[in-house]
Amino acid sequence: MTRADFSGRTALITGGTRGIGAGIAQELVGRGANVVVTARKPDELDEIVRRLDPDGTGRAVAVRGSADDEAHQAEAVAVAVERFGRLDHLVANAAVNPQYGPLVDADLSAVRKVFEVNVTSVIAWVQQAWRQSMQEHGGSILAVASVGGLRAGSPIGAYNASKAAVIHLVRQLSGELGPGVRVNAIAPAVVKTKFATALYEGREEEVASAYPLKRLGVPEDTAKAGVFLLSDDASWITGATLVVDGGVTATG
């Protein structure tokens, strides 16, 4: 099967320096796209640009800032449009999880931060992409949700509730932005990233035993699924959330 070609297209990936975001950026560059990656840490941004564009062709650009900062959101989208002419694909990947334990005991400032970054900023990034490029040129948007948004019971309740909100946002936005812009999500289970380390470190085999495929995910698994939804191969798919979970939600 021929891989979808992204030559001449531009994607912006929030939280794109490591894990799922970096995996998606790498997959897009490998298929010909120009990419703009955002994150907070300058050293990580420098490193991902070197990885994505080792020859210094200018196809990978970094913009530093916090995902929930309005000025940063506007600047990053503007950089994509000014540098490459338009923004074709937005990947809303940046997320935080400062809350752990029962919600009844949660620090509400931590809960507010989760929703500000994981939910409100997704809307803000979409607004900027729409206003600065996609309203005129069209495009596709991918949000990174989680299987935690599909079921309850985890000690990261605020994070999971935020991802449930993201899944609903995808449905809402697909109706508002169609037909010119498609909006979809992926919902991964545990993927072996620095962000998810606390969920499997020191007991990976035990955690993976609950999965029918008997392994945890890796960024390449989510990257290929996400890039499919961004591509023209998914041209009749919008408002959908693709579960990428090694089968764990199918069996309990």
Higher pLDDT, 79 or 203: 79
In this predicted structure, what is the pLDDT of residue 217? 84
Percent above pLDDT 90 for the chain: 85
Per-residue pLDDT tens over the stretch 199-240: 667 787 877 888 888 888 898 999 999 999 999 999 999 999
What is the Cα–Cα distance from 34 to 192, expressed in whole angstroms?
Answer: 26
As beta bridge partners, residue 245 has none
For the stretch 76-99, what's the b/e string if a residue is b when 16 or more beta carbons lie within 10 angstroms of its beta carbon? bbebbbeebebbbbbbbbbbbbeb
216 neighbors 246 (Cβ within 8 angstroms): yes
Question: What per-residue confidence (pLDDT) applies to 208?
Answer: 82
Q: Which homologous superfamily is 10-247 in?
A: NAD(P)-binding Rossmann-like Domain (3.40.50.720)
Q: What is the mean pLDDT of residues 108-114?
A: 98
Confidence check: pLDDT of 1 > 60: no
Q: How many CB atoms lie within 10 A of CB 106?
A: 16
- The domain limits of the chain are 10-247
Q: Name the catalytic one among 100, 159, 200, 211.
A: 159
What is the per-residue pLDDT for 198? 66
pLDDT in tens, 118-134: 999 999 999 999 999 99
- Summarize pLDDT for 149-208 with one digit per residue, the tens: 999 888 999 999 999 999 999 999 999 999 999 999 999 998 887 776 666 677 878 778
- Give, in order, the Cα–Cα distances in Å from 123 to each of 25, 120, 164: 21, 5, 14
φ, ψ of residue 59 to 5 degrees: the values are -75, -15
Section 1-15 average pLDDT: 92
Residue 61, token pair as written in the block: 């650009």
Residues 91, 16: Cα–Cα separation, whole Å: 9
Residue 200's pLDDT is: 66
C-alpha 85/C-alpha 71 separation (Å) is 20
**Mean pLDDT, residues 92-121 taken together:** 97
Query: In terms of C-beta density within 10 A (0-12 exposed, 13-18 middle, 19 or more buried), how is residue 168 classed?
Result: middle
Instruction: Assess whether 159 carries a catalytic annotation.
Output: yes
Q: Which residues contact 241 (CB under 8 A, 6 or more apart)?
A: 145, 167, 170, 184, 185, 186, 187
Question: In terms of pLDDT, which residue wins out, 146 or 1?
Answer: 146
The H or E element that residue 242 is part of is strand 241-244
Label residue 65 by pLDDT band (50, 70, 90): very high
Q: Looking at residue 50, what is its pLDDT?
A: 97
Is residue 140 very low, low, confident or very high in pLDDT (cuts 50, 70, 90)? very high
pLDDT for 28-50, tens place per residue? 999 999 999 999 999 999 999 99
Query: Tell me, what's the pLDDT at 204?
Result: 75
